[in-house]
Structure 1
Amino acid sequence: MDWTLVLILLLMGTGGGFAAGFLGVGGGMVLVPFVTMIFAARGFPPAIVVHMAIATSLATILFTSLSSVRAHHLHGAVRWPIVLLIAPGIVVGSWIGPYFAKQLDTSLLALVFGLFVAFSATQMILNRKPSPSRELPGPAGMFAAGATIGTVSGLVGAGGGFLSVPFMSWCNVKMHNAVATSAAIGFPIALSGTLSNIYHGWNEQGLPAHSLGYIYVPALLVIAAASVTMAPVGARAAHRMPVAKLKRIFAMVLYCLSAYMLWKAASSAGLLNA
Structure 2
Amino acid sequence: MGEVPVGELLALAGVIAVGGVFTGLLAGLFGIGGGAVLVPVLFEVFGFLGVPESVHMQLCVGTSLAVIAPTAFRSYRTHKAKGAALEHVVRGWTVPVVLGVVAGAVLAVWAPAPLFKIVFAAISLGTAVRMLAGGERWRLGATLPGPWLMRIYGWTIGLLSSLMGVGGGALSTIVLTLYGQPIHTAVATSAGLGVPIALTGTVGYVIAGLFHQSELPPLSIGFVSLVGFALMAPISAFTARIGAQIAHRLRRRTLELAFGLFLIMTSSRFVVSMIW
What is the TM-score of this pair, normalised by structure 2? 0.82
Task: Map 1:148-227; keep pairs closer than 5 Å.
Answer: 148-204=156-212, 206-227=215-236
Whichever residue aligns with residue 174 of structure 2, its letter is P
Q: 2:155 matched to which residue of 1? A: 147
Report deviation, 1:208.
Answer: 3.1
Match of 1:9 in 2: 16
SS state at 1:230 partner: helix
Task: Determine if contact 2:121/2:271 at 8 Å carries over to the other structure.
Answer: no
1:96 is matched with 103
Structure ID, larger Rg: 2
**Structure 1: distance between partners of 2:178 and 2:255:** 16
**Could you say which residue in structure 2 is the equivalent of 1:123?**
126
Q: Partners of 2:12 and 2:141 in 1: how far apart?
A: 51
Given candidates 45, 61, 69, the residue that maps to 1:62 is 69
Once the two structures are superposed, what CA deviation does each residue of 1:5-45 show, in whole Å capped at 9, x if it has no partner?
Answer: 22211111111001100110022343233333443454433
Identity score, percent: 32
| Cα deviation code 1:82-138 (max 9, x no counterpart) | 11111110121223334455x48xxx86x6786566445413311153347443232
Work out the CA distance in 2 between the residues paired with 1:265 and 1:47: 22
1:143 shift after superposition: 1.8
Contact preservation (8 Å) 1:117, 1:258: yes
Contact kept, 8 Å, 2:125 with 2:267, in 1: the verdict is no
Q: Measure, in 1, the Cα distance between the counterparts of 2:163 and 2:140.
A: 33
Return the alpha-carbon distance in structure 2 between the equivalents of residues 36 and 161 of structure 1.
22
Please give the TM-score of this superposition, normalised by the length of structure 1: 0.82
Q: Distance in 2 between matches of 1:233 and 1:27?
A: 15
Distance 1:148 1:27 in 2: 20
The alignment yields a C-alpha RMSD, in angstroms, of 2.9
Give the direction of change, closer, same or farther, for the CA distance of 1:113–1:140 in structure 2 (3 Å limit). Answer: closer
Contact in 2 for aligned 1:121/1:252 (Cα 8 Å):
no
Partner of 1:86: 93
The size of the alignment, in residue pairs, is 263
In 2, are the aligned partners of 1:114 and 1:259 still within 8 Å (CA)?
no
Counterpart for residue 251 of structure 2 = 242
